[in-house]
A and B are shown apart, each in its own frame.
Chain A
C-alpha cells in the first residue's frame, strides 16, 4: 500500500532535517580542518622582557599571540628560553628552558581570528642575571622555543 501524501511529506521533512544537521556539522568540522591546515599562521611576538631579581631570579616574557584561524586554540608553554644574541649557539642560552605562565594556570586560550596577551616566566640562573639584563638593554635578547597547542582535539607544536 502506498504511503499517504501526508506521510510522504513527513518522511521528506525528516530527510531534509537529517540533511540540515549533517551539513551544519560538516560546516563546523570543515572550519576546524581549514584551521588545522592553517595552524602555521599562529604567531608569537615577544613584546617585553624583564628580569626580576629575588631568591629565585626569573625573566618575564610578555607575548602577543595571534591566531588567524577560524577556531580557538589552547596553548601550553613548553620549552621557551632566552638567548644572548642568537638562539643558534647553545652557549648563548642564558635562562632555563622550562617555561610557565605567570598567572599560575597551565594553559591559555587564543580566540579565533584574534589575539591575546600573556606573560611567561622562565627561571634564570643567578650567575646570568646581569648578562640577561645587559642583553635586554642592548636589544640582543632573543626568545626562542616551542609550545604545545591544541586545536579542538588535535595537538601540535608551534615555534615561538
Chain B
C-alpha cells in the first residue's frame, strides 16, 4: 500500500483529525462522512415517502431520527467548520440524488410507461417537498445540535 493510500485510509477513519489536515485529507474526510450521511438521508426519506407500503417497524419517527443523527454526526466527525460544511453539502446533495433515483427506479426496473416523464412529476414533487420540509431541516438541525454540543463541552 502506497503512502498516499495510507493517508487516504487514515483520513477516512479519522475524519475529525483529517478535517484539520491538508486539503486532500479534508476533502477525503468531507466526502466519506458526507456520502455516508447522504445515503442515510436519502434512504430514510424514501421510507417516509413510501410509508404506506413500508413494514410497521420502519416508522417515520425512526427515519426522521436517522436523518437528524446523521446531520449531527457530520459535524461531530468533521470538526473543522469549512470541512463540515462541505460534508453537509455533500450529504444534502447525495440525499436528494438518492431520493430522486428511488422515485424513478421503479419505472425503469419494471418498464412502466412515464408518458414522456409526466408520470414522474408527482413523484419528483414529493421528493422535493420532503427534501425541503424534511431532509434538509432535519440534517441542518442535527448539525446545529452538534455545534451546540461541541460548544457546551468545549
Contacts and interface: CB of A to CB of B under 8 A. Distances in A.
B54 interface: yes
B40 A154 contact: no
Contacts of A34: 106, 109-110
A96 to B, nearest CB: 33
Contacts, number: 111
Given A14-B69, A18-B73, A29-B54, 4 more contacts: A15-B36, A25-B55, A32-B55, A34-B106
Interface string B31-43: 0010011011001
Give the size range of B's interface with the partner: 35 or more
Contacts of B152: none
A5 B10 CA distance: 10
Interface residues of A, number: 34
Contacts of A28: 54-55, 57-58
A153 B46 CA distance: 16
Interface of B: 13-17, 20, 33, 36-37, 39-40, 43-44, 46-47, 50-55, 57-58, 62-63, 66, 69-70, 73, 76-77, 79, 102, 106, 109-110, 112, 154
Interface string A1-45: 111010111011011101101110110111011111110000000
A36 B110 CA distance: 12
A102 B31 CA distance: 60
Q: Is the interface of A mostly helix, strand, loop or mixed?
A: helix
Contacts of A37: 106, 110, 112
A32 B53 contact: yes
A151 interface: yes
A36 B50 CA distance: 11
